[in-house]
Amino acid sequence: MKRTKISEIWAPELIGTDVCVKGWVRTRRGNKHVQFVALNDGSTIKNIQIVFDMAKFSDEEMKPITTGASLCVIGKLVESQGKGQTAEIQAEKLEIYGLADPETYPLQKKGHTLEFLREKAHLRPRTNTFGAVLRIRHTLAFAIHKFFNERGFFYLNTPLITSSDCEGAGAMFQVTTLDLNNLPKTEDGKIDYTQDFFGKPASLTVSGQLEGELGATALGAIYTFGPTFRAENSNTPRHLSEFWMVEPEVAFNDINDNMELAEDFIKYCINYALENAADDIEFLAKMYDEELIERLKFVVNNDFVRLTYTEGIKILEESGHKFEFPVFWGADLQSEHERFLVEEHFKKPVILTDYPKEIKAFYMKQNEDGKTVRAMDVLFPKIGEIIGGSEREENYEKLETRINELGIPMKDMWWYLDTRRFGTVPHAGFGLGFERLVLFVTGMTNIRDVIPFPRTPNNCEF
Ligand code: ATP
Ligand code: MN
């Protein structure tokens, strides 16, 4: 008999028909006359209740049905008497696929802490919380592709292994096939990378942007959506060593177009999740964060505040608020500063622009003042920076001068500079940290809880 997914079992026309469901047991309770099994198959947060008439099933048959065991049940779908559920199944046939020994299956009692579940990341997708988070994550990923496809952007796959370490976004993980216990050396005692796999040093990428610019200056508008890697030793609730980044890049866009795109994009994704993952968002709101849905709707329905870094610094300086890190013009903003602007001062998402050039990457377009660049960071409540982007410097000489000032090895950059040498155009783009968006939409507070298998310093299990 064909299996029906539990997400599809609530269709009114199925009432009164025979159905077949398969899934994992959440709970079993009851007595010697009747027993109830809550079954979940991962397709939805909702369990289906299966009613076992103990005149038809023996205690022996029921005993292996413990939390975590996997089953197939065939029976009649009927309207439920119990409150809170619309339908239940009266079991006719039972097949047990696999047992889950209560002595050793770790997901026994309800209310495990998120910390405990991080140690069980191989099984935590079977919990309500992680089922909901992972379904929302999928919904957001789908929304991202849908948004860009509807706007005529092309999905560009940029390399994960790179030989240029000039992006400056963070420390890189080296990729090598050399024997670390027996490194080949050149005559002057340095490591001989000509014997390495690529014939030169290589690393995992920290961003797809530079290659994204090659795509944008050919296809017009592209986006990347893939994993990026940063070996920064920042053990925070907002940093991962391996995370997914979305990076649109658009030829002929200036910083204002870029801000508009970022705001439309983020609102579209949140709205899509509200409409298509409502059950899961409601579950997480109920369990963890009562203001979640209100916060999501607020962001969708309000304009983001736009102001310059210089104006932002002034507000922070005049606030009289005691910050852990000092505030002065030229300082890199910390999450406490970003969150003060968003949560205390404006009470709205903020797009901060025109940062000092010293604290931003070499490729950002230089302003007339000689001090600032056309950068834009989108700052969100509870998160801080969710997007970082800029209009790019399209002038060959200015870009080259900046590269020299920063001492970036030019020979590694020849292919990037060719975009400015041949048919250069104004262009702009940004990077959204996908997990930070998932954090915001799920209301989770630790980034380790919104990716299936988190990688952080000293943690590479599973
Ligand atoms: P932060 O200051 O928070 O470390 P960043 O300025 O280094 O961020 P960018 O290099 O601009 O970030 O990267 C673009 C986006 O990628 C950020 O806005 C953020 O959403 C996300 N991001 C950056 N680093 C990480 C990380 N280690 N883990 C998860 N997301 C990240
Ligand atoms: Mn960083």
What percent of the chain clears pLDDT 90, i.e. is strictly above it? 93
Ligand 1 centroid–CA 316 distance in Å is 22
Alpha-carbon distance 52 to 58, whole Å?
A: 10
pLDDT for position 287: 96
Q: What is the pLDDT of residues 116-171, one digit of tens each?
A: 999 999 999 999 999 999 999 999 999 999 999 999 999 999 999 998 766 666 68
Q: Which atom of ligand 1 sits closest to the CA of residue 385?
A: 18
Protein residue with its CA nearest to atom 7 in ligand 1: 169
pLDDT for position 169: 60
Q: Average pLDDT in the 17-23 region?
A: 98
Global confidence as pTM: 0.96
Q: Which of 167, 225, 228, 239 to mutate to test the pocket of ligand 1 (most atoms within 8 A of CB)?
A: 239
Ligand 1 centroid–CA 239 distance in Å is 7
Non-local (6+) Cβ contacts of 133 within 8 A are: 280, 284, 438, 442, 444, 449, 450
pLDDT for position 167: 61
pLDDT for position 111: 76
Protein residue with its CA nearest to atom 18 in ligand 1: 387
Helix-strand-coil split of the chain, %, nearest 5: 35, 25, 40
Q: Average pLDDT in the 326-337 region?
A: 95
Q: Average pLDDT in the 336-354 region?
A: 96
Ligand 2 centroid–CA 162 distance in Å is 19
Question: Mean pLDDT across the chain, nearest whole number?
Answer: 95
Q: What is the pLDDT of residues 375-393, one digit of tens each?
A: 999 999 999 999 999 999 9
Which residue is it, tokens 């940029």?
158
Residue 461 confidence (pLDDT) above 90: yes
Q: What is the pLDDT of residues 228-274, one digit of tens each?
A: 999 987 789 999 999 999 999 999 999 999 999 999 999 999 999 99
The set of protein residues with a Cβ atom below 6 angstroms from ligand 1 is 169-170, 230, 239-240, 243, 245, 385-388, 431-433, 435-436
User: Predicted confidence band at 85 (pLDDT cuts at 50, 70, 90)?
Assistant: low
Identify the three-state secondary structure at position 26. Answer: strand
Please state which of the ranges 12-26, 82-96, 293-307, 332-346 shows the lowest mean pLDDT: 82-96
In three state form, how does the secondary structure of 109-169 look?
CCCCCHHHHHHCCCCHHHCHHHHHHHHHHHHHHHHHHHHHHHCCCEECCCCCEECCCCCCC
Which ligand has an atom closest to residue 228 CA? 1
Protein residue with its CA nearest to atom 3 in ligand 1: 385
Q: What is the pLDDT of residues 194-228, one digit of tens each?
A: 999 999 999 999 999 999 999 999 999 999 999 99
